[in-house]
A and B are shown apart, each in its own frame.
Chain A
Amino acid sequence: MVVSSTARKISFREEVENLLHAEEGVSLVRCIQCATCSAACPAVEFMDHTPRELIALINAGMKDEVMASNTFWTCASCYACSEKCPEGIRPADVMYALTRYSLWKDTFNRDWVAPDFSRRFARTILRTGKSYEPGYAPAFIFEGGVPGMVREMRMAMRLLAKGRLPLIPARIKRIRNLRAMVARVLPLDGIE
């Protein structure tokens, strides 16, 4: 945990490290730019900056470039990078931290599916306590155009016929208590 001093403004790297408060990761200054994380990443070719580049940009304080990047929204949370980093940095947790930061600061690209999807998911859980797949469809169903939509609908019908798709969202019994719990941690209207 980095303690900010009143004498100077904290760096962007320190900001990112502070976002990892519940983690016990290693400071990003330890990064030796070996690119093992990038080599381990299965989604790297769909990122505008590789994980190695992203960490370099963070360490260089290039906040605007970092926040405009699609890299952290392209992370699949497979943790291959965190497993392989020879310096003990956990890039996967850095990616999570940056997604939270970009939602909080509202810096994400409106064309991306991922931020909308994550928000819909969070709202659903607050309403019912359980996930409900059909509720997220508006976040992505229009992506594939009309043919894509038809394919998704056709698959949904097949799953429905096999009894694998629920028509009604499940709900936990004590949803009110769960909401009260969440409200003790952070303001509900920040999510809803």
Chain B
Amino acid sequence: MTRYAYYPGCSLETMAATYHVSSLEVAHKLGIELEELEDWNCCGATAYSHVDELLATVLCARNLALAEKQGLDIVAPCNACYKNLWTTNAALKRDPDLAEHMNYALEADDLHYDGKVEVSHIMSAFVTDEALESIRRQAGERIKGLRVAPYYGCQIVRPRRPGLNISQVDDPRFFEDLMKAAGADPVAYPYKLRCCGAVLMVTNRRAAVQMLRDLLQSAVDAGAEVIATACPLCQTNLECYQSEVNRTYGTNYAMPILYFTQLLGLALGVGVKRLGIGKELVSAEAVLKRPTAATAPKGV
């Protein structure tokens, strides 16, 4: 059985609680064990890097040291947590002076970090050959043929990790492959890697609302029935501020925004409630009530 140290991140305890429960359900179905990191702290988001670089580093160093103590590699469901933990990990591994400085700080919590941990986005755990095979085997009809727009967001692929080539960053396909394995029909649309507005939704509303409009329109143009996200901030922006886009631009988007784990869970036969579906501000009823491939008339 594959085991990981699971770093939920702050959002998964609040706004993105549905991402949390659906991740656990899917992991369980795939025989992946997620052991929550003991007493983890905030990754610092983007704000900490705005304030002080070492401050941002020390926060992530603690989480890395906690994982090392548990003897496990980390998976993080949030793009920003993943990027912060990954970047700090890389910096600590290549810069012994920085590592020494951080280990001095870690002593205050009886911790030490030797650079033995690897950090991945939780989606990585679900797109291994083994996991994909298991999903294909278990997937029912529930989301068969569902036209889903896989929305990567930014930091799941950027900044580019070493060893990835340009096409893996410019046009990654792992999200599409995952949705296909679950039976869905991922649509191709040009904005799958374009920013959702992120923290600008708070700090520069006009900019973020425009970015969101472009993204929603791109998915609508491609005929998507639902947008699948892999990040709580992307999900929150796309869902909670969809009405603000409509008010600002006179549009009438009603696009359901679900976590990719919720769609995977549906495919794997997990109950709707157990996946947290029903807590959306933009109803996902259309996704649930659609005729499955078995009942849909031919040619639709």
**Interface set of A (CB-CB < 8 Å, partner B):** 21-22, 24, 42-43, 45-46, 73-74, 76-80, 82-83, 90, 92, 96, 99-100, 103, 112-115, 117-119, 121-122, 125, 129-133, 136, 139-140, 143-144, 151, 155, 158-159, 162-166, 170, 172-174, 177-178, 180-186, 191
Contact = CB atoms under 8 A, between A and B. Distances in A.
Interface in B13-63: 13-18, 39-42, 44-55, 57-59, 62
Contact of A125 (B16, B42, B91, B169): B42
Contacts of B54: 22, 185-186
Nearest to A104: B52
Contacts of B51: 100, 103, 118-119, 121-122, 191
A63 B199 CA distance: 26
Contact of A42 (B13, B47, B108, B211): B211
A73 B42 CA distance: 22
Contacts of B280: 162
Contacts of B58: 181-182, 185
Contact of B50 (A103, A129, A139, A182): A103
A170 B105 contact: no
A113 B155 contact: no
Interface of B: 10-11, 13-18, 39-42, 44-55, 57-59, 62, 91, 94-95, 98, 101-102, 104-110, 154-155, 158-160, 169-170, 193-195, 197-200, 202-208, 211, 214, 240, 244, 279-281
A74 to B, nearest CB: 6
A77 B15 contact: no
B13 A170 contact: yes
Contacts of A165: 14-15
A143 B105 contact: no
A122 B195 contact: no
A151 B280 CA distance: 17
Contacts of B15: 133, 159, 164-165
B205 A122 contact: no
18 contacts: A22-B95, A46-B204, A77-B46, A78-B154, A80-B154, A83-B169, A96-B53, A121-B48, A122-B48, A125-B41, A129-B42, A155-B240, A159-B281, A170-B10, A178-B41, A178-B62, A184-B108, A185-B54
Nearest to B244: A151
A27 B51 CA distance: 22
